[in-house]
Amino acid sequence: MTIKMLRYTHVLLIMIYFFLLPSIAIADKSLSMTVFVNSVWKTNPGILSAQSEIERANSQFLQSRRPIYNPTFNIDGQKIQIENEFDTYTAGLSQTIDVFDKRGARTEVGENVLAEARASLANQKLNLASEALRSIAEYRTAQAVVKLATYRTDLLYKFKELNERKFNEGDIPQDALDMAFLAYAQAISQQADEEVLLENARQRLEVITGFSSTLWPRLPSKLPEPLKPSIVTKEQWVNTLPLIGIYNARVAIARAAVRVAQTNAKADPTFSFRSGTEDKEFLIGGTLNVPLFVRNDFHDQVNASNYQEIAVEQTRMNVHRKVKASLQATLSRYNILQQAAFHWNETYIHSLDLDGGVALLNRLWEAGEMNTTTYIIQVKQHMDSQIAGAELTGKAWSEWFSVMEASGQLNVWLTKK
């Protein structure tokens, strides 16, 4: 081959590549799971609201760091029109001193309110992502089942047509024809039910995502391996959950509120300084004001805050217990479903595929070695097995996303995809 021909061939290959590239890209517009989750987060009103809550909590935290008391400026004048009385003019400043660090106590509350808002955002993101991915599993499973249901309907329609022709030729009795018609009618009804479920799944996903179904990701071809974490690992997962972070922050807020109540029960002094003139004489003076908490010492307010802290702490312990039990339950359910799906696939590999099995049934029926009733039963068994396998895999994926939610490991898993 000459150099000139090689050049032409090279140019032709480049042109073919660039012509085919758009069609390859268009063939599958679905997003990766990571991009899908990030897109859902960016457009979800609940997430945007939680982000605004963080900004609000941050503003409150910054405000709590500022001094509580501002100074007061006073001007006083007195002009006397009576003999032997003197005109008096004074100006002064007064300032209440935060002796018992009320500002520090309030800052601690504001800091933990901000921590709660951040944990709440993380928790909402985890819950939303898990819900969206479970809905993806439901939608893709419904798609697979509808595809199988359509296959079944088409198959039984052709079978009905063949039976009708054979009946007209006098080869089969009326009851065989009736069986074929009834089987086809049932297939139509079942397909409609599955299509309704698919539309319901599509609607739920559209509400969650807010964008086109062509961008929704596809499930990986293989289920993750069963998870059997150690007790220490499960405890670490639970302790790092955003939900536990929310309750940790609430306990810290309640504890800081006790300190706020304690400092509020202590009076801060106010110092005042003034100066002025009286009959052209220079005056200077000072005042100390200390409120006396005699009639109300705010003791009950401190007690109320203490009991609130105890209540929040007990709530946190209860939530921790529930979350831990939920994690164990989801792990057990997933491992059961994953093993069942694995064994189903192993059994399917060692048997004829759907097309091969149906082709064999058709040959046996057309050869007269199988009657209509047996044929319909065999087809139903083949199709029910395929649908059961698709639904089993879908349930396993849905439970996997529940495991990721319960363990808080969803982001870790997504980064590995």
| pLDDT one-digit tens code per residue, 73-104 | 988 877 766 655 667 788 899 999 999 999 99
Ramachandran bin of 298, using left for φ above 0, alpha for ψ from -120 to 50, beta for the remaining angles: left
- The CA distances from residue 295 to 66, 125, 259, 298, in Å, are 30, 50, 21, 9
Mean pLDDT of 260-271: 92
Mean pLDDT of 104-131: 96
- Cα distance from N-terminal residue to C-terminal residue, the chain: 45
- Residue 401: its pLDDT value, please? 97
Mean pLDDT of 388-401: 96
- The CA distances from residue 164 to 77, 167, 172, in Å, are 115, 5, 9
Burial of 246 (0-12, 13-18, 19+ CB in 10 A): buried
pLDDT, tens only, 293-351 = 888 888 899 999 999 999 999 999 999 999 999 999 999 999 999 999 999 988 776 55
pLDDT, tens only, 354-391 = 666 777 777 776 766 778 788 888 888 888 889 999 99
pLDDT, tens only, 11-68 = 333 333 333 333 333 345 678 899 999 999 998 999 999 999 999 999 999 999 999 9
Question: What would the two tokens of residue 97 be?
Answer: 């001193």
pLDDT, tens only, 205-241 = 999 988 878 889 999 989 999 999 999 999 999 999 9
- Residue 353: its pLDDT value, please? 62
| Predicted model pTM | 0.82
Is residue 135 within a helix (H) or strand (E), and if so which, with residue range? Answer: helix 102-168
- Residue 107: its pLDDT value, please? 95
Question: What would the two tokens of residue 133 be?
Answer: 């991915």
pLDDT, tens only, 278-295 = 777 788 888 999 999 888
Q: Find out whether 354 and 151 touch, Cβ atoms under 8 Å.
A: yes
- Residue 187: its pLDDT value, please? 93
pLDDT, tens only, 147-188 = 999 999 998 898 888 888 888 888 778 888 888 899 999 999
Q: Which of 135, 133, 127, 120 is nearest to 49 (CA)?
A: 120
Q: Find out whether 358 and 159 touch, Cβ atoms under 8 Å.
A: no
* Residue appearing with tokens 């068994």: 381
- Residue 285: its pLDDT value, please? 87
SS3 (DSSP) at 32: coil
Which residues are registered as beta bridge partners of 75? Answer: 91
- Residue 17: its pLDDT value, please? 32
- Quote the longest CA-to-CA distance of the chain: 141
- Residue 383: its pLDDT value, please? 87
Which residues are registered as beta bridge partners of 284? Answer: 275
- Residue 66: its pLDDT value, please? 94
CATH number for the domain formed by residue range(s) 29-415: 1.20.1600.10
Q: Which of 260, 259, 270, 263 is nearest to 97 (CA)?
A: 270
CA 410 – CA 393 distance, rounded (Å): 19
